[in-house]
């Protein structure tokens, strides 16, 4: 963070930071953060899920994940166009990898035990942008719900 402030004061851009992470890593992180923030709150449990998903998906160190999240927060705040992030993911991930991301999205959404109408709308939008079959998306939703509350 201090390096970014110094860079801004010196007039340099953050191209070095962008180059540190692959575009698909930034895109994935930005989408996960968008979901985590969609209900207006970013809870610690959601942050842990985002960290765990990024660690499993990209095999990054905790320090690298923290940097990636910081950078993705910036990217997310600079654009409201989810399509560009989804396009990057579609170009680099298999369907199975995209389904893992979608499962993570459901885990983030249900981290607080409720489905907010904005979270639901965002999940449907992301499923479409990621070109996932509706049945697969619903199966993942049910899987996550069953893990959270098997007696429901």
**CATH number of the domain to which 39 belongs:** 1.10.3680.10
Asked if residue 43 belongs to a domain, the reply is yes
Asked if residue 1 belongs to a domain, the reply is no
Residue 26 · residue 72 · CB < 8 Å: yes
Asked if residue 48 belongs to a domain, the reply is yes
Asked if residue 12 belongs to a domain, the reply is no
Asked if residue 7 belongs to a domain, the reply is no
Q: Give me the number of domains the chain comprises.
A: 1
Asked if residue 4 belongs to a domain, the reply is no
Cα–Cα distance for residue pair 147/126, rounded to 1 Å: 22
Asked if residue 11 belongs to a domain, the reply is no
Cα–Cα distance for residue pair 141/131, rounded to 1 Å: 16
Asked if residue 120 belongs to a domain, the reply is yes
Provide the domain limits for residue 70: 23-148
Q: Check the CA dihedral 110-140-94-80 and report its sign.
A: negative
The residue with tokens 């095999």 is 59
Tens place of pLDDT per residue across the chain (152 aa): 434 433 333 333 344 444 568 999 999 999 999 999 988 888 999 999 999 999 999 999 999 999 999 999 888 888 778 999 999 999 999 999 999 999 999 999 999 888 888 999 999 999 999 999 999 999 999 999 999 888 87
């Amino acid at each position: 963070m201090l390096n970014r402030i110094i860079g801004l004061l010196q007039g340099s851009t953050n191209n070095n930071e962008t180059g540190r992470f692959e575009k698909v890593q930034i895109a994935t992180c930005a989408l996960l953060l968008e979901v985590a923030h969609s209900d207006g709150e970013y809870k610690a449990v959601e942050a842990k899920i985002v960290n765990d998903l990024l660690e499993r998906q990209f095999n990054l160190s905790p320090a690298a994940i923290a940097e990636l999240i910081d950078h993705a927060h910036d990217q997310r705040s600079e654009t409201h166009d989810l399509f560009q992030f989804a396009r990057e993911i579609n170009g680099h991930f298999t369907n199975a990898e995209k389904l893992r991301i979608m499962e993570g999205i459901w885990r983030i959404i249900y981290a607080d035990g409720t489905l907010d109408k904005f979270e639901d709308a965002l999940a449907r939008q992301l499923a479409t942008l990621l070109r996932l079959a509706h049945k697969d998306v619903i199966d993942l939703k049910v899987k996550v719900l069953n893990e959270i509350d098997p007696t429901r």
